[in-house]
Amino acid sequence: MLLAFETSCDETSAAVVHEGRILSNVVSSQIALHGEYGGVVPELAAREHLRNLIPVAREALGQARVDASHLEAVAATLGPGLPSALMVGVKAAQAAAFVLRRPFVAIHHHEAHLYSPWLQGQPPAADFSEFEPNVALIASGGHTMLVLVQGEFEHRLLGATVDDAAGECFDKAGKLMGLAYPAGREIDRLAEGGDPKAFAFPRPMLDEPNDDFSFSGLKTSVRYFLRDHSALLDDAKGLRDLCASVQGAIVEVLVVKTIRAARRVGVKCVTASGGVTCNRALRAELATACRREHLTLRLAEPALCTDNAAMIGILAERKHRFKGEEASLDADILPSWALARE
């Protein structure tokens, strides 16, 4: 029985897992709080985590019908993420581990994302019986990367964004269109029925021979486009076409680079997680491309795409059980912790 915390960005989450099953996964999102500012404000995020973590943890234990005294370990995201936000979850987990005299397990946020596509069913449980080496796309508001996952606990970073994340591009493009933060889901909704070929936006780094991404140029081109075509925002069809065109550019870059990486490294499976993986066009295009290339596709369930403590708990439990991993109760947060490239 393990309790996990995730507080690396703007979701306060606690989950209880037991033998690969998620007994509870409570997520308190701070979207409304940061919406006013058009992006995550680190200091506000940290204060909100401080306010919410105990109620969220209590709710997670309650839903799982587990008393804190039954916990066998406590885990938290050690990094990467916003320093003051990470600190809340890590120090709370270490304090709980100290009082309960249980081990503390420290988890890498991106490594945990690699496991969410393997959580299936209702209630979700980890199913690694069909595990195959894969190329994992992680695309969210804070990160966009491709990771080669050769086996359990065995992975290396293939490439990542050199500037904005894919979700950040959705959000910033949406802001220019006057949509509320975070705009990804609204662009997804408006793009339905829009023509993705209506306006030509750049596909940054699509043809470069590496697995890196860049999305800030795309955002800039949306800014210039709107400077010259501002009337378009008042036209419902025009706005739908614009959303579909911007979404089309982001999705094409993500899909083409993911498939190309999978083919190059020779895996037969592609997985995807992160908030942007909720995008319906991305899910559909990845499915089409994988079918065409005879690749197995495993997409995280939409509810587990965004940041959550369940993925932290599942990985922590496996690391503790199979590798005997535990971290010091004095372990410090690692805000810039990067996945190894080699």
Tell the smallest beta-carbon distance from residue 248 to ligand KG4 (Å): 12
CA distances to 33, 126, 188, 269, 287 from 131, in Å: 39, 10, 30, 9, 18
Q: What character string, x for contact with ligand KG4 (CB under 6 A) and - otherwise, covers 236-275? A: --------------------------------------xx
Task: Decide: is 182 part of the binding site for ligand KG4 (CB under 6 A).
Answer: yes
Tell the smallest beta-carbon distance from residue 307 to Zn ion (Å): 4
Please give the structure tokens belonging to residue 321: 């059980």
Which residue stretch of 197-205, 276-284, 292-300, 318-326 sits at the interface with ligand KG4 (rule: CB under 6 A)?
276-284
The whole-angstrom separation of Cα 190 and Cα 237 is 9
Among 307, 317, 325, 326, interactor with Zn ion by CB under 5 A: 307
Tell the smallest beta-carbon distance from residue 112 to Zn ion (Å): 8
Among 48, 188, 285, 317, interactor with ligand KG4 by CB under 6 A: 188
Tell the smallest beta-carbon distance from residue 15 to ligand KG4 (Å): 15
The whole-angstrom separation of Cα 251 and Cα 243 is 12
Indicate the residue among 24 and 279 with the shorter CB distance to ligand KG4. Answer: 279
Q: What character string, x for contact with Zn ion (CB under 5 A) and - otherwise, covers 234-253? A: --------------------
The whole-angstrom separation of Cα 2 and Cα 102 is 10
CA distances to 231, 254, 301 from 130, in Å: 51, 25, 17
CA distances to 25, 106, 296 from 255, in Å: 29, 31, 14
Task: Decide: is 279 part of the binding site for ligand KG4 (CB under 6 A).
Answer: yes
Tell the smallest beta-carbon distance from residue 221 to ligand KG4 (Å): 18
Q: What character string, x for contact with Zn ion (CB under 5 A) and - otherwise, covers 138-177? A: --x-------------------------------------
Among 81, 103, 141, 159, interactor with ligand KG4 by CB under 6 A: 141
Task: Decide: is 117 part of the binding site for ligand KG4 (CB under 6 A).
Answer: no
User: Cβ neighbours of residue 201 under 8 Å, at least 6 residues apart?
Assistant: 218, 221, 222, 225, 245, 246, 248, 249
Which of Zn ion, ligand KG4, none does residue 196 bind (CB under 5 to 8 Å by kind)? Answer: none
Tell the smallest beta-carbon distance from residue 170 to ligand KG4 (Å): 4
CA distances to 45, 107, 158, 209 from 257, in Å: 33, 27, 11, 10
Residue ranges of alpha helices (H) inside the chain are: 31-35, 42-64, 83-100, 109-113, 166-176, 184-191, 216-228, 236-265, 280-292, 302-305, 309-323
User: Cβ neighbours of residue 198 under 8 Å, at least 6 residues apart?
Assistant: 241, 242, 244, 245
Residues that bind ligand KG4 (CB under 6 A): 9, 140-142, 167, 170-171, 182-185, 188, 274-276, 278-279, 306-307
